[in-house]
Structure 1
Amino acid sequence: MLVHKIDDEVSLRLFNKNDAEEFYHLTMTSKPYLKEWLGWLDYVNTVEDTEKNIQSRWDELKANGGYPLSFAIIYNGRIAGTIGFNQIVWANKTGTVGYWLGEDYQGKGIMSRAFQALINYGFDDLKLNRIEVRAASGNDKSTALPVKFGFKEEGVIRQAEWLYNHYVDHVIYGLLSEDMK
């Protein structure tokens, strides 16, 4: 899946080197908005940092037998955010999904469409048995998404992540391939 057209507005595709500047600017313009829930933003300071991130996505492609794990979310020809599997444990056939959308792209149904496509890809192409989402407690937009798609809330990991000056709990949501039938 190098490019997956979802509809006339939204598609998923692999990042490429030419995306570094656009993706960096999206990250920087959305930084104040995203920083409430994403702890890695202070590590992105230059376009070169974004180039390294994109290269790591290509490295994971090689490491996973040609199966990409993360994608640019394209909305009307522009990068709107990213979605993918932050982790896959192939021995257990489980994947953990991560996602974010630039502030200007919120409220358009973009992430719902991208999320559905990624879930289908995980079960149909990657042959995963279980897909999970871990979202910070209180991050209502991120926690609403798995609920909307039938994920079950399975528990809370207390103080799972350090966000700049405090810990946040993670709520875990899971969906099994058999739940899709």
Structure 2
Amino acid sequence: MMIREMNNDITLRSFTVDDSEELFQLTDRSREYLGKWLPWIDYTKEVNDTKEWIQASLKGVVETGGYIKTAAIIYKGSIAGTIGFNIIDQTNKSGVIGYWIGEDFQGKGIMTQACKALIDYGFRELDLNRVEINVATGNLKSKAIPERLGMTLEGTKRQVEKIGGKFHDHFVYSILADEWQK
């Protein structure tokens, strides 16, 4: 079980099936907000959908050889969102981070701290050379996170994600291990 305590208020930890109800309620409360940027929100209609996602994430730990793909972001004892490596390419030592946070938890620096901890985990424990974050070009709050972390804007993926019948472009940000060490 991965546990990363960033400060007294923010911790990353592995999900358990017991988190299903709380995570679903967070998703449901933030449905309209999250639906602007996340295509899976329309498929998360009940607690069991969240439970199945957590179970698949836990199964993924075994399939990856032991690294945690997705973690719960805990803020003052409550689940605030999720973060993880959507993709890890072991051959090329690179990973792509995905994340979301509930609307109630916006603007507290939680996601920036969580990304910082996950990037550090990727470089130090997974021996990655490159970490990438892809952000919808219109999602200004999310775009600010890789910028605050000193990541390099590499370019734009055009019409890479379809949400609500509309295609969205993504900015691609990255940072390399030797840049992170500085």
TM-score (norm 1): 0.97
Code of the aligned partner of 2:86: N
Task: Provide the rounded CA distance (Å) in 2 between the counterparts of 1:40 and 1:175.
Answer: 27
Q: CA deviation at 1:64?
A: 1.6
Report what 1:134 is aligned to. Answer: 134
Code of the aligned partner of 1:105: F
Q: Displaced runs of 4+ in structure 1, greater than 6 A? A: none
Q: CA deviation at 1:161?
A: 0.7
Q: CA deviation at 1:3?
A: 1.6
Kindly provide the CA deviation profile for residues 44-73 of structure 1, in whole angstroms up to 9, marking residues without a partner as x.
Answer: 011111011001111111012211121000
Report what 1:101 is aligned to. Answer: 101
Task: Provide the rounded CA distance (Å) in 2 between the counterparts of 1:101 and 1:12.
Answer: 13
Task: Provide the rounded CA distance (Å) in 2 between the counterparts of 1:147 and 1:94.
Answer: 19
Aligned-residue Cα RMSD (Å) equals 0.9
Kindly provide the CA deviation profile for residues 110-163 of structure 1, in whole angstroms up to 9, marking residues without a partner as x.
Answer: 111111101100100011010001111111111111111111000111111111
Percentage of identical aligned residues: 46
Report what 1:158 is aligned to. Answer: 158
TM-score (norm 2): 0.97
Segments of 5+ residues of structure 1 without an aligned counterpart are: none
Q: CA deviation at 1:2?
A: 2.3
Check if 1:83 corresponds to 2:71.
Answer: no
Code of the aligned partner of 2:103: E
Q: CA deviation at 1:108?
A: 1.0
Q: Aligned to 2:7, what secondary structure does the other structure show?
A: coil
Task: Provide the rounded CA distance (Å) in 2 between the counterparts of 1:170 and 1:2.
Answer: 29
Report what 1:56 is aligned to. Answer: 56
Task: Provide the rounded CA distance (Å) in 2 between the counterparts of 1:22 and 1:123.
Answer: 30
Segments of 5+ residues of structure 2 without an aligned counterpart are: none
Check if 1:72 corresponds to 2:72.
Answer: yes
**Matched residues, number:** 181
Q: Aligned to 2:53, what secondary structure does the other structure show?
A: helix
